[in-house]
Amino acid sequence: MTTTYDPRHPRYFDDDDMREELTRVFDLCHGCRLCWNVCPSFSTLFDFVDARDGAVHELTGAEQDQVVDECYQCKLCYVKCPYVPPHEWQLDFPRLMLRAEAVEHEARGVDVETQLFGRTDLLGKVGSALAPLVNRGTGTPGSFGRRLMEKVAGVAAERVLPPYARERFSNWFAGRVRAGTARSPSFPPAWSSTSSRRSGATSCASTSATTSRATCHRAWAAVACRGSTGAT
């Protein structure tokens, strides 16, 4: 068993070694349970363990995999955990989940769904550029386009999806830069950038009403509002 979160380690991608580490960490989590309500991974883990009267080593590979699959990397458990490095137990649950996924991908490859949703910025750019076509093909739950999307990408055909906006929020603000000294940064999510320009504009209008000649900047994948009057 190797406690490592470094993909360069020679045993990082060893499946048996990784599963032994999962058992070690799951046993520590079972004994602590401080994160019982943080995310689905923990409630699922504790249900499996309780069904075996605490025998963590009896969990099957499929049950371990389900715990891994339900982690969405919010990292709240890391914040709450009393055993994270430099504690001698070296418990880093989010990075162990990443290791488990990496081992899976190394052995079986990366599926289309994972590749697709691992590049949300690219999806947003393509969706906005082809908004009328994309919205027509994916806007109706249960349609042929949505059933095809479910088979290819794993997105439920009956799920209501937000439409893409033809004009991205960042482009909408590109022509609204004006000189000024006061700066009021805002970091709209991807929703504002590709699907709901109006929500981002409303946020910036509110900022402009309280901040004199506010400006904005781009940081990471988000944009910050350049104050302007009459934003709609």
Question: What residue segments make up the domains of the chain, in order of their start?
Answer: 15-109, 113-153, 169-223
Q: What CA–CA distances, in Å, run from 165 to 86, 91, 114, 140, 176?
A: 46, 43, 24, 16, 19
pLDDT in tens, 143-180: 999 999 999 888 899 999 888 888 777 777 666 656 65
pLDDT over 80 at 42, yes or no: yes
Query: What is the model's pTM?
Result: 0.66
pLDDT in tens, 59-112: 999 999 999 999 999 999 999 999 999 999 999 999 999 999 999 999 999 888
DSSP string covering 28-63: HHHHH-TTTTT-HHHHHHHHHHHTTTT-GGG--HHH
DSSP string covering 133-172: HHHHHHSSTTSHHHHHHHHHH---TTS--PPPPSS-HHHH
pLDDT (mean) for 208-222: 42
Least trusted range by pLDDT, from 144-148, 180-184, 211-215: 211-215
| 197 in Cβ contact with 169 (< 8 Å) | yes
| 225 in Cβ contact with 207 (< 8 Å) | yes
What's the pLDDT at 120? 81
